Structures are given as structure tokens and as C-alpha cells.
Structure 1
Amino acid sequence: MEKDMIFKVSLFFLFFFSFMSFLMGILLVMNNLKIFIEFELISLNSCVYVLVLYFDWMSVFFFFVVTLISSMVIYYSKSYMSEEIYIFRFIILILLFVLSMVLLIFSLNLISILLGWDGLGLVSYCLVIYYQNVKSFNSGMLTVLSNRIGDVMLLLAISWMINLGSWNFLFYSQIFKLEEFMFYILILVMVAAMTKSAQIPFSAWLPAAMAAPTPVSSLVHSSTLVTAGVYLMIRFEEFISESMISNILLLMASLTMLMAGLSANFEFDLKKIIALSTLSQLGLMMSILCLGFKNLAFFHLSTHAMFKALLFMCAGLIIHNMKNNQDIRLMGSLSIFMPLVSINFNVSNLALCGFPFLAGFYSKDLILEMVLFSNFNLVVFFFFFFSTGLTVSYTFRLLYFSLFKEINYSKVFMLIDKDKVMISSMFCLLIMSIISGSLMNWLILPFYSMIYLSKGLKLMVWGFLLMGFIMGILISKINLIFKNNMIYSMYFYLGLMWFIPNLSVYGMNLIVLNLSLKLDKFLDMGWLEKLGGMYMYSSFMSYSKMSYYFYFNSIKLFIFFFFMIYMILLMF
């Protein structure tokens, strides 16, 4: 009964806040309102710490997305984590995670942003190591240490902004553009956003965070942890738009988008493919943000959250039925044995590809048409369109392996999708994956600029989607028998995220660990062993033994030494 009460209370409050924030968002959009709420907490010399809560349509709509997805994830966990002993601890961690994200969403103050930012990092570590095995501990350490770099960058930005007398960055929009030293604050914020949203070279932790339970992955990869960096850069967009920082971030985000799309095409772990898909979409959001389209980046951030959460929920139910096996080569024919899950899985994947009139279509198609319509070079064009083709490629490869090809599992299996709790939570997000694109398009982009393209450019988007579909079929059919062939070497290289995990883990740690091994061998177990502590220890022990011997044989020794000294004197 206590478990049911915990789920009911948390689900009710989250869903209630979600519904109210949606209504409030419509009100703010219709009246073009922005609400500031200030609390003066402490005043130290000339620096006043004021907690500012900023309610505009963007923050309120994102709050709606976060609370809706988290409520569905908690309801989904009621069945998925039903065998868990410490379910109360799990729910508390999820709620703390959401609370940290909410603090980050509504804050304009760098210190309160840091509280939410650091809360996300800390709680994510607790959730990644939830299953408490060696793989989870390694993944948790990689996650928390990568995010710690961003925390340090925010701390440095806070210490730098203390010279201005306040940390409310929105009040200094003109100073950010005029003062030269403010450029360094923007660099610090950019690096912090890159670590949280796993842009190159900090991409290794995002697939590693898959060690967490699947409901956590659904929440992390849709609307909380990885989107925090994108959301922070959306808030700082007007400051970076006219500086060199946007070009640097554009290059890193575009490379991330390309790398993740290539790696997902050669991966066989179901959850890791979806994680690399998230990484690719984060690169897309960052890229379009750096080109100056803030509203488009937020639009794709919101629509992507809906179908990505649904995608992870479907993956969790499939993994449950496959007896915790995540290799897509062992799956197949799930459309026959699990039709309800297959419907959700299919719709979420098609929304990810940008299939017409699903959620992803409205944001992705608009992004690609704005890239064509704007005056950008061929490099930007290549990154956007080729990465979109790769998205279609790995999506159809995943659908082929999991839903359509013959099942490759054991002779005796039982695949069912009659879990009412999981299916009902997934169907709620299925509806949002269908309607959220058109709904938010009407709400937040009512008077968007007219995009007029020629017929060839209009059809170019569909051409790249078709090329991606053909490429996905070809990659699915590649036979891995050629062990010594160039194809296998390319397959191996492209599936390793351009060796970024190896460089992040072994490249950073191996040199230090080898040096410490040599120091231990040559110093601690070598000269210091002979001349250091052990030498002094053995010397003191010999002296103490000598004094001990003198102490217990004093009369005999005195007589002996007296006799020896007397004999020496007689000799000389």
C-alpha cells in the first residue's frame, strides 16, 4: 500500500503541475507576458544575492514538457521497477532530479543555476550507479567527472561576475557586448554547456550513462540532464550570437551530430543506439542555435523530448521481454509478438526521422528549410543534411533488426505486451509524439517568416531521407564474415565514436596511472624503501634492541666494559 501511495501522490502532483503550466504557457504566449519574481536572500558588501524566478513562455512550456514526461516515467516505473526493494529511494531520486531541473529552468541567477546544475550531476551519479556493479560504478564515475568540468566552469563564471555586483546575467546584455572581459565568461558558460550536453570532446559519458535503469534513461535523454546544456545556451543566445564563440560551438556541435549518426549505424546495443541518437539530436539543436534560430532550437528540444522518452520506454519493455538482452541481432519479429509496443516503437522512430505530420517533422523540416533559405556555406549544408540522412539510416536499421527480420533468439521464448501500466504510460506519450509538433508550431511560431524555396530545394530534403533509407538497408545487410577486410576495419572504427571514449578514459588516465606505477616501483618499493621509512624503521629497531639489551644486562656489561677499558689502558 505504501508503494502505491508514493506513486499516486508523485504522479498526481507532477501531472497537475504539467497541466497548469500548459495553461499558463498559453496565457503568456497570447498576452506576450514575462513575469519576474525576486527574493533578496543575502547582501554581502555591495554584492546582493537575489533569487530571480523568470516565467516566460519558453520556461513555462519546457516545465510542462519536463513534468509531463517525468509523471509518465514514474507511472511506467510502477511496473518496470515492481521487483525493486528500495523503490522509495528510487522515487525520491527521480523527484530530486526533476526538482533540480525545475530550479535550472526558472532561474536567471548563475548561483541558483549552479544549484540545479550540480543537483543534476549529483543525482545522475546516484541513478547511474543504482544497480551497484563494476560497470555501473565505472559509468557513474565517467559521468560525474565529465559533468564536474562544467560545474567548475560555472563556478569560475560566478567568481568572475562578482565584479559586476550581481549574478543575474539578463541584466547585463549590453555589458556582455561591450566589455572585452565578458567574452571569457561566455567561453566558460559554453564549455559548461558542452559538458552537460555531451558535445565533442565530452561525448564519452552519454552512452556510458546507459548503465542506469531504463526509466531513468528515458528521463535523462529526453528532457532533463542532457538538455540542460542546450537550455542554458538558449538563455545565453543573445550574448553569443555576435561573438566568435558561436562559430566554435557550431563546429563542435556539427562534428558531434556527424559522429553520433555514424556510430549509431554500426552499433548493436539497443539502448546505446538510442543514446547515440540523442547525441545526434543534441548536436542538431546546438548547431541551429549557433546559426541564430533560438526558437527553432527550443521547438526541436520540446518535440524531441516526447518521442525520445517514448523510444526509451519501448526499449525498456523489449529488454524486459528479451530477458535483459540488449543485442538487436538477437531480436526480430517483434511486430508479430508485441504489436502494441511495436506501434509505439514505430511511431517514435518515424517521428525521429521527421516523417510527415508527426512531432519531429514540424521541427526538423523547418530547421532544414531554414538552413537552405539562409546564406550559409557548403560545410554547414553538408553537416545538416548528411546527418539527417544518417538519422534515417540508423532508424530503419534498428526497425529492421528489431521488428521485421526473423527472430534470432532461443527456441523457447515468451514475448508479451499485456502490461497495462507500461502500455498506458507509453500511449500517453504516443499521443504527444503525434500532436505536440503541430500544437507547439501553432503556439510558439504563429508568425514565422515565409520560407520560399524552389521545387528542387524542397525535394532535396526528401532526397536525403530516401538516401538514408537505402543506406540503412545496405548497412543492415553487410556481412561481418570479412574479418581481415577493409569493410570490417571501417565497421570497427566507426562503431567506436571516433575513439572518443578511449581518449577520454585511457588517454587521460593511462599516462597518470603508468607514471604512478613507475613511482611506486622505483621510489616507494625502491630507494625510498631502502633509505626512507623502512630504513629509519630498521635503524630505530636496531637501536632500540641495543638499548633493550643494555637495560637488562647492565651490571655484567659495566664490568665487561670496565675490564676492556682497563686492558686497553695497560696496553698503551
Structure 2
Amino acid sequence: MKFLSICTISFVNLFTFSMMFFIMAIIFMMNDYSIFIEWEVVTFNSMSILMTFLFDWMSFSFLSFVFLISSLVIYYSSEYMSMDYKINRFIMMVLLFVMSMMLLIISPNLISILLGWDGLGLVSYCLVIYFQNVKSYNAGMLTALSNRIGDVALLLAIAWMLNYGSWNYIFYLEVMKNNLEMMIIGSLVMLAAMTKSAQIPFSSWLPAAMAAPTPVSALVHSSTLVTAGVYLLIRFNFILMNTWMGDFLLLISGLTMFMAGLGANYEFDLKKIIALSTLSQLGLMMSILSMGFYKLAFFHLLTHALFKALLFMCAGAIIHNMNNSQDIRLMGGLSFLMPMTSSCFNVANLALCGMPFLAGFYSKDLILEIVSFNYINQFSFFLFFFSTGLTVCYSFRLAYYTMTSNSMFSSLNLLNDEGWVMLKSMIGLLIMSIIGGSMLVWLIFPTPMVVILPFYLKMLTLFVCLIGGLMGYLISNVSLFFFNKSFNNYNLSTFLGSMWFMPYISTYGVINYSLVLGKINLKSFDQGWSEYFGGQQLFYMLMENSQKNQLMQNNNLSIYLLNFVFWVFILYLLMIWF
């Protein structure tokens, strides 16, 4: 009864704050307001410690979405985690996670950003290892250590900001844009954002973080941890434009999008497929941001948060019903057995694909049209459109395995839609996934963005999506033997399905040489010469001497007699000598 009250109170408070922040975002947007607050925490002689906050339409709207999703996730957790005795601790950690994200969103100061940034890293580690087993511990260490690289980059950026006399980066972005110091700070911030948003080569921690409970995945992969890097770069967008950093980020994020889309088509773990789709969408946000369209990146960030949280919630309900099995090959026929959950799942999937008039359509279609309109090289253009096709491909493959085929699971397993608390939270996000995109496009872009393109470019997005959906069906349908045989080539699928061997590089690749050197050191010194001349030699000497001593003290008559003879002989020699 106690945990229900904690969940309910948290849900009500977060939801109320979300609505309040949304109204504030609309007011600030309409009037073009920005409020900058400086709070003097403590002053000692000439030294003063200031806490600064920036409130504008962007921070308010992002806060509104974070609070809305976290409120529904906590309400969902009250049923999903109901068998957990330590649910109070779980809810407190989730609230701490949300508060860290809130601090990061409203901070125009690198010091307070670091507090929120490190808070996210620490609490995410605690949540990833929540189910305490070896897999969780490994995933937690990979997550924490990958993010530490970004934390160090942010600390170095803070050190470089000493050149300016204040850590409020927002004062210097436009004025000092071409300074060497600001370029260095910008590149360090970009490195930090790449680690937090899991861009190549830091991508391997994101699917590994699926070891966390599903409500945590819904929160982490929609609006909090992985979006922190994108949000930070949106704030630093001035220093990306027309510089080498923007070009570099465009290449890296395009490759991340492509790699994640390919990997998701070879994956059979339900949660990992959705995690890889998050990685693909993060690449899309980063790439459009690197081209200078920060409002579009922010728009996609918000719409993506809605349907991605819904996808994870539906996945959690399915996993619960499947007795904690996550393999999509064992699923099938869920549309008949779990109609409400399946409806939510399919709507979220179609929003992810960019189905017209759902949330994802407004942002993804606009991004691809702007890419077609913009001056961009052919390789980046290919990555954008091919990755979009791959998104539709793995979404249709997922729908085919889970919804249409026959169930391969135990016939005694009873699948149903009876989790009403979970269903209510999913329906809340379902409504937002349908109307959220159109609502946001009217607010963020009050003047309709009409992109005039040639007919073949205008239709290219639709064509790529249709081809991707067809490919998803073809690679899933086992009756098409020849196509499957060519697609499921072992070497190719191992390379593409393991994210281009990135998890191996970031784990075995990092620790292999140190372990080999440690083994050589152990063999050569600790168990080699050092042991031979040190511990073992000492042991043998002591053992030999103790054996001699034992022999002396064995009360043997011949030894006593021999000692007596020696003693008499020595006395005789002394007498002769003196």
C-alpha cells in the first residue's frame, strides 16, 4: 500500500509540473521571452559562488516532455515493479535521475551542467545494475566507463573556460565563435556529447544498458540520458556551423545512423532492437544539428521521446506476458492475444517509420526534405535516405515476428491485456504519439515550412519507406528461402549484427593488452624468478633448517652420544691450546 502511495504522489506531482511547464513554454514562445537568473549562493571576501538558470521556450518545452514521460513511467512502474520489495528505492532513483536531467536542461553554466551530467551518469549506473547479476554488472561498467570519457572532456572544457572569466558559455558563443579557445571548448563539448549520445565509436554501451528494468529503458532512451548530448549541442549550435566540427559530426552521426539501422535488422532481442532504433534516431538528430538546423533537431528530439517511451512500455508489457522472454522468434500472434498492447505497439512503430500524420512524420519528413533541399554531398545524402529505409525495414520485421506469425511459445502461457495501470500509462503516450507531432509543428514553426522540391525528390522519402517495408517483409518471411539464405550469411550477419564489432573493440580491445601484460608479469616475476629466489627459496630454507632442528630434538641416544664426544673433544682442544 505504501509503494502505491509513493508512485501515485510522484505521478501526480510530475504530471502537474509537466502541464505547468508546457503552458509556460507556450507563453514564452509566443512572447519570445528568455529569463536568466543568477543566484548568489555564498560570498567570501572577493569570491562569490553563483548558480545560474536559463528559462526559455526550449528549456520549458523539454522539461514539460521529460516530466510527462517520467510521470507516466513511474505510474507504469507501480504495476510493472509491484513484486519488487525495494520499489521505494527504485522510485527514488528514478526521481533523482529526472532531477539531474532538469538541472542539465536549465543550466547555461558548464559547472552546473557538469553536476547534472555526472548525476545522470551515476544514477544510470545504479539503475543499469538494478537486477544484480553478472550481465548487469558488465553492462553497468561499460555504461559508466564510456560516459566517463565525456565527463573528462567536460572537465577539460571547464578548465579552458577559465580564459573567459566566467563559465556561462551562453555569453561567449556568438562573440568568440572563431577564437582558438572557443574552438577547443567546442570540440571537447562535442566529444562529451558523442559519448553521452552514443555516437561512433562510443555506441556499444547503449544496447548493453538494456540490462536495466524496462521502465528505466523507457525513460533513458526517450527523453533523459541519451538525449542529454543532443540537447547540449543544441545549446552550443553556433560553434558547429560552418566549421570542421560540423562536417566531422555529420559524417560520424550519419555512420552511426547507418550502423544502428543495419544492426537492428540482424537482432532478435526485442529490447535491443528498440535500443538500436534509438541509436539510429540519435544519429539523425545529430546529423541535422551538424548542418545548422538546431530547431529541427530539437523538434525531432521531442517527437521521438513520445513514441520511443511508448515502444519500451509496450515491450515491457509483452516481456511480462512472455514470462520474461525477449526473443522475438518465440513471439507471434500477439495482435489476437494482446489487442490493446499490440495497437499501442503498432502506432509507436508506425510513428517511428514516419507514417503520415503521426508524431514522427512531421519531424522526419521535414528533416529529409531539408536534407534534399540543402547543399550536401552524395555520401551523406545516401546515408540519410538509406538509414530511413532501414528504419522502416526493421520496424516491419519486428511487426511481422511479433504480430502476424504463429506463436512459438509455450501453449500453457496465458497472454492477456489485464495490466490496467500499465495500459493507462500506454494510452496516455499513445494519444501524445498521435497528436504530439502536429501540435509541436504548429507551436515551434508558426509559419508553415513549405519546401519546394522536384517531384522525384519529393516522392523519394515515400519511395524509400515503401522499399524498406518490403525488404523487412522479405527478410522475415522464411518461405522465401533463397533471400534468407543470402541475407543470413554467417560472416556478414556477425559483422553487421554486432555493430561492426564495436562492443568487442570497446571491451576486449581495451582490456586485452593490459591483461596479456599482466599475465606475462605474473608468469615471469610473481610466479617466476621472484618466486624462485623469494618466497619459495625462503620456504625451502626454513623447512630444511626445521628438519635439522627436529632431528636434533628427537631424543635419539646416538645424537646425544655424538654431541657428548664432540663436547669432550672441544674441551680437550681448549686445554691443549691454553
Q: TM-score, normalised by structure 2?
A: 0.93
- The one-letter amino acid paired with 1:507 is G
Aligned to 2:559: none
Secondary structure of 1:497 counterpart: coil
Contact 2:174 2:238 in 1 (8 A): no
CA distance in 1, matches of 2:240, 2:538: 61
Q: CA deviation at 1:492?
A: 2.6
Q: How does 1:314-329 map to 2 (within 5 A)?
A: 314-329=314-329
Pairing 1:492–2:500 present: no
Pairing 1:231–2:231 present: yes
Residues 349, 399 of structure 1: alpha-carbon distance in 2 compared, 3 angstrom cutoff: same
Contact 1:344 1:430 in 2 (8 A): yes
Contact 2:288 2:294 in 1 (8 A): yes
Residues 374, 85 of structure 1: alpha-carbon distance in 2 compared, 3 angstrom cutoff: same
CA distance in 1, matches of 2:469, 2:57: 37
Aligned to 2:555: none
- The one-letter amino acid paired with 1:442 is W
* Residue 510 of structure 1, aligned match among 505, 509, 512: 512
Residues 174, 517 of structure 1: alpha-carbon distance in 2 compared, 3 angstrom cutoff: same
Pairing 1:94–2:94 present: yes
Residues 481, 192 of structure 1: alpha-carbon distance in 2 compared, 3 angstrom cutoff: same
Aligned to 2:445: 445
Secondary structure of 2:370 counterpart: helix
Secondary structure of 2:199 counterpart: coil
Query: CA offsets per residue over residues 124-145 of structure 1, 9 Å max, x none?
Result: 1111111101111111111111
CA distance in 1, matches of 2:369, 2:48: 46
Aligned to 1:354: 354
Q: How does 1:296-311 map to 2 (within 5 A)?
A: 296-311=296-311
Secondary structure of 1:65 counterpart: helix
Query: CA offsets per residue over residues 235-265 of structure 1, 9 Å max, x none?
Result: 1111222321111111111110000000001
Q: CA deviation at 1:535?
A: 4.5
**Mean Cα displacement is larger for which, 145-154 or 272-281?**
145-154
Gaps in structure 2 of 5+ consecutive residues: 553-561
Contact 1:49 1:167 in 2 (8 A): no
Residues 439, 483 of structure 1: alpha-carbon distance in 2 compared, 3 angstrom cutoff: closer
Aligned to 1:553: none
Aligned to 2:558: none
Identity of aligned residues (%): 58
CA distance in 1, matches of 2:475, 2:571: 97
**Mean Cα displacement is larger for which, 537-546 or 434-443?**
537-546
Q: CA deviation at 1:43?
A: 5.8
Aligned to 1:384: 384
Q: CA RMSD in A?
A: 2.8
Secondary structure of 2:173 counterpart: helix
Secondary structure of 1:69 counterpart: helix
Q: CA deviation at 1:276?
A: 0.3
Aligned to 1:343: 343
Aligned to 1:181: 181
Contact 2:372 2:381 in 1 (8 A): yes
Q: How does 1:120-519 map to 2 (within 5 A)?
A: 120-174=120-174, 176-447=176-447, 449-477=449-477, 479=481, 487-519=489-521
CA distance in 1, matches of 2:318, 2:197: 27
CA distance in 1, matches of 2:547, 2:43: 65
Contact 1:220 1:226 in 2 (8 A): yes
Query: CA offsets per residue over residues 352-393 of structure 1, 9 Å max, x none?
Result: 000000000000000000001111111111010000000000
Q: CA deviation at 1:491?
A: 2.3
Query: CA offsets per residue over residues 374-416 of structure 1, 9 Å max, x none?
Result: 1111111101000000000000000000001111112222110
Aligned to 1:524: 526
CA distance in 2, matches of 1:480, 1:268: 20
Work out the number of aligned pairs and report it: 569
CA distance in 2, matches of 1:47, 1:540: 65
CA distance in 2, matches of 1:485, 1:179: 50
Q: CA deviation at 1:49?
A: 3.7
CA distance in 2, matches of 1:278, 1:565: 96
- The one-letter amino acid paired with 1:493 is F
Q: CA deviation at 1:533?
A: 5.1
**Mean Cα displacement is larger for which, 468-477 or 366-375?**
468-477
CA distance in 2, matches of 1:285, 1:315: 24
CA distance in 2, matches of 1:481, 1:466: 18
Contact 2:240 2:292 in 1 (8 A): no
CA distance in 2, matches of 1:486, 1:270: 19
- The one-letter amino acid paired with 2:506 is S
Q: CA deviation at 1:532?
A: 3.7
Aligned to 1:107: 107
Contact 2:177 2:238 in 1 (8 A): no
**Mean Cα displacement is larger for which, 245-254 or 60-69?**
245-254
CA distance in 2, matches of 1:455, 1:82: 54
CA distance in 2, matches of 1:267, 1:487: 14
Contact 2:183 2:239 in 1 (8 A): no
CA distance in 1, matches of 2:132, 2:288: 39
Q: CA deviation at 1:158?
A: 1.2
Structure 1 stretches of 4+ with a deviation exceeding 3 A read 42-49, 478-486, 532-550, 556-572
Contact 1:101 1:224 in 2 (8 A): yes
Q: How does 1:530-549 map to 2 (within 5 A)?
A: 530-532=532-534, 535=537
Secondary structure of 1:231 counterpart: helix
CA distance in 1, matches of 2:102, 2:533: 59
Q: CA deviation at 1:181?
A: 2.8
Residues 565, 446 of structure 1: alpha-carbon distance in 2 compared, 3 angstrom cutoff: farther
Q: TM-score, normalised by structure 1?
A: 0.94
Contact 2:200 2:252 in 1 (8 A): yes
CA distance in 2, matches of 1:465, 1:304: 18
Contact 1:49 1:166 in 2 (8 A): no
- The one-letter amino acid paired with 1:83 is M
CA distance in 2, matches of 1:46, 1:425: 52
**Mean Cα displacement is larger for which, 139-148 or 349-358?**
139-148
Q: CA deviation at 1:565?
A: 9.3
CA distance in 2, matches of 1:535, 1:485: 62
Residues 176, 530 of structure 1: alpha-carbon distance in 2 compared, 3 angstrom cutoff: farther
Residues 486, 25 of structure 1: alpha-carbon distance in 2 compared, 3 angstrom cutoff: closer
Q: CA deviation at 1:159?
A: 1.8
Residues 567, 96 of structure 1: alpha-carbon distance in 2 compared, 3 angstrom cutoff: same
CA distance in 2, matches of 1:145, 1:544: 52
Contact 2:474 2:483 in 1 (8 A): no
